[in-house]
Amino acid sequence: MTHATAFTPAEIGGLARRIDRPVVLVGLMGVGKSTVGRRLAALLDTDFIDVDEEIERAADRSVSEIFEAHGELYFRAGERRVIARLVEEGHGVIATGGGAFVDPETRALILDRAIAVWLDCDIDTLVERTARRDSRPLLRKGDPRAILTQLKDQRGDAYAEAQVHVVTDDAPHTETALSILSAIDAWL
């Protein structure tokens, strides 16, 4: 559920000043972490970093190529290191990849040093959105709906540890970003 939340620019500025830690978006593949995260950073007039893009830049390979060449465990090790660095650097908004927050070490770090926002939506929407791009190696292993359903079940308890929970729908990205602001405002 998203709310058409009206914030004046001054209110958003005031909220941005109260946010003294990185806002880290977590949740399943396709929920909107990368695209809504960029919009959220723009609203807050802060910088945006996507963890997968940082990993790709450091490795000079795509996430799919890393999975293919070295396997998931190697990717997770790199992901853990990159997130530790990004949280330490204190970026404004950080979009993680869907598996990152499941790692206990990464989750503890984010909960301690950042504000974790769990973006959540229904499986039908995730299936439709993730079908648009063939860039997610975990979804190539079988039926995407079955895989996403299983991951939702496996990861739900970890995601639920996030300080802020926002249930989204197909509202435009900016509206979703405003819902996140509203939820952070209520939590602070």
Ligand X SMILES: O=C(O)C1=C[C@@H](OP(=O)(O)O)[C@@H](O)[C@H](O)C1
d(CA 102, CA 161): 10
> Does 36 interact with ligand ADP (rule: CB under 6 A)?
yes
Total chain residues near ligand ADP (CB under 6 A): 16
Count of CB atoms situated within 10 Å of the CB of 62: 14
Q: Report the greatest alpha carbon distance in the chain.
A: 49
Closest CB to ligand ADP among residues 26, 115: 26
C-alpha distances out from residue 21 to 18, 31, 91, 143, Å: 9, 22, 8, 38
When binding is defined by CB under 5 A, the residue of 5, 34, 125, 182 that contacts Mg ion is 34
With CB under 5 to 8 Å by kind, the binding choice for 99 among ligand ADP, ligand X, Mg ion, none is ligand X
Residue keyed to tokens 């809504």? 36
> Does 138 interact with ligand X (rule: CB under 6 A)?
yes
When binding is defined by CB under 6 A, the residue of 43, 63, 94, 178 that contacts ligand X is 63
d(CA 110, CA 127): 27
Tokens standing for 65? Answer: 């190529």
d(CA 46, CA 22): 10
30 is in an annotated binding site: yes
> Does 136 interact with ligand X (rule: CB under 6 A)?
yes
> Does 103 interact with ligand X (rule: CB under 6 A)?
no
When binding is defined by CB under 6 A, the residue of 23, 24, 31, 181 that contacts ligand ADP is 31
Q: Are the C-beta atoms of 119 and 63 separated by less than 8 Å?
A: no
> Does 170 interact with ligand ADP (rule: CB under 6 A)?
yes
Q: Are the C-beta atoms of 185 and 139 separated by less than 8 Å?
A: no
51 is in an annotated binding site: no
* Residue ranges binding ligand X (CB under 6 A): 29, 33-34, 52, 63, 97-99, 136-138
* Residue ranges binding ligand ADP (CB under 6 A): 29-36, 95, 129, 132, 168, 170-171, 173, 176
